[in-house]
């Protein structure tokens, strides 16, 4: 990734990517098929969004998942196992990133976006502490609903309620789903995110997440339970499109663990000065600072098409301010 532009500090950022932000060459006109293919196998998409969560979902499925025949009946034993493995993953990923980036400060400010630290002694947060607040919402509500949804769908696969496809049915489709699911989730996210900014829903639920202007790994799914239900609703696609339980687990990992990743506050996890995996998303970082822009992702152009795009430039900030000014 490019070195920090000299204007980064003066713009209130420790670091940011080259501006203006350019979207992914996926949904563009005229089409750019070679550029799109290069992006699909890039560090930012394949190596940071797809493969890590294929890995975590395979770990869960092959090592920590009872046979489908055993989950055809709801029973406390396997339900507790699902909750425990989800809790462990959340503590490991969010807790590990928080410790390395914000407690130990293992990479200093290298590729860090915000100059400010996470909130302490702030009355907006439970316990007056942002990390305590974020952990409470993420674990008590987020992990609980994540596990409950996972349990219901696993039971549904086992009982033929959820349509299922196997590797033997179609290896190509089985693999393609791992690429298609992030796009499905991203499209769903744009529309439900705009809905969550509707004033009544914002006041009821989404305001909990937007307490976090400076964000860290525990901010990713720090949400009101109503927002969690709306956010997780993208998995309803599995009731229509035949998938495998492994895809369902992957989808939930993308929803939860990639949110942890994208809210890390740093662009990359770097060890010894070398990038290991992509983390934070400056596109979404801008949303947490300015609120009424960048509702979706930078790889599906809904914000550009609907006029809510902030490309990270001072002019984009002025344009946003003019749009919000009463006429």
Task: Report the C-alpha gap between 238 and 185 in whole angstroms.
Answer: 12
Cα–Cα dist 115/277, whole Å: 22
| DSSP classification of residue 161 | S
10 DSSP 8-state letter: T
- Domain range annotation of the chain: 33-280
Q: What is the pLDDT of residue 6?
A: 39
- Model confidence over 271-300: pLDDT tens digits? 988 999 999 989 999 999 999 999 999 889
Using CA atoms, how far apart are residues 89 and 143, in angstroms rounded to an integer? Answer: 10
- pLDDT at 325 exceeding the cut of 70: no
Cα separation of 266 and 217, whole Å? 10
DSSP code, position 299: T
Residue among 62, 88, 66 nearest 76 (CA): 66
Q: How far apart are CA 191 and CA 179, in angstroms?
A: 20
pLDDT at 92: 98
Residue-wise pLDDT tens digits, 128-177 = 999 999 999 999 999 999 999 999 999 999 999 999 999 999 999 999 99
C-alpha 123/C-alpha 126 separation (Å) is 7
Does 7 score more than 80 pLDDT?
no
- What is the band of 323 on the pLDDT scale with cuts at 50, 70, 90? confident
Section 8-37 average pLDDT: 85
Q: Is the pLDDT of residue 9 over 80?
A: no
Q: What is the mean pLDDT of residues 12-25?
A: 92
**Does the pLDDT value for residue 115 go beyond 50?**
yes
Residue 191, pLDDT > 70, answer yes
Per-residue b or e along 143-162, where b marks 16 or more CB atoms closer than 10 Å to that residue's CB = bebbbebbbebbbbbbeeeb
């Amino acid at each position: 990734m490019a070195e920090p532009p000299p204007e980064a500090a003066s713009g209130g950022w420790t670091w940011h990517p080259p501006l203006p932000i350019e979207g992914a060459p996926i949904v563009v006109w005229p089409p750019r098929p070679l550029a799109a293919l290069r992006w699909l196998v890039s560090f930012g998409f394949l190596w940071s969004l797809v493969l890590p969560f294929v890995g975590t979902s395979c770990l869960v499925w092959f090592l920590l998942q009872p046979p489908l025949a055993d989950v055809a009946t709801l029973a406390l034993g396997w339900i507790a196992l699902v909750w425990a493995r989800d809790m462990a993953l959340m503590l490991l990923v969010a807790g590990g990133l928080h410790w390395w980036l914000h407690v130990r400060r293992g990479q200093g400010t290298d590729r860090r976006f915000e100059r400010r630290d996470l909130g302490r002694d702030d009355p907006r947060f439970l316990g007056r502490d942002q990390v305590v607040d974020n952990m409470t919402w993420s674990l008590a509500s987020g992990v609980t609903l994540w596990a409950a949804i996972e349990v219901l769908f696993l039971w549904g696969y086992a009982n033929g309620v959820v349509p299922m496809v196997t590797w033997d049915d179609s290896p190509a489709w089985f693999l393609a789903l791992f690429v298609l699911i992030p796009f499905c989730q991203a499209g769903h996210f744009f529309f439900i995110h705009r809905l969550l900014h509707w004033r009544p829903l914002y006041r009821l639920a989404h305001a909990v997440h937007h307490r976090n202007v400076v964000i860290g790994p525990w901010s990713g799914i720090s949400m009101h339970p109503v927002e969690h239900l709306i956010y997780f609703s993208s998995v309803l696609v599995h009731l229509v499109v035949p998938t495998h339980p492994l895809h369902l687990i992957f989808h939930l990992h993308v929803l939860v663990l990639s949110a942890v990743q994208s809210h890390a506050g740093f662009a990359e996890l770097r060890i010894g000065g070398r990038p290991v995996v992509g983390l934070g998303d400056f596109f979404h970082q801008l949303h947490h600072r300015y609120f009424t822009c960048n509702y979706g992702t930078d790889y599906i152009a809904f914000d550009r098409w609907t006029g809510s795009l902030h490309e990270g430039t001072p002019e984009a900030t002025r344009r946003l301010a003019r749009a919000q000014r009463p006429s």
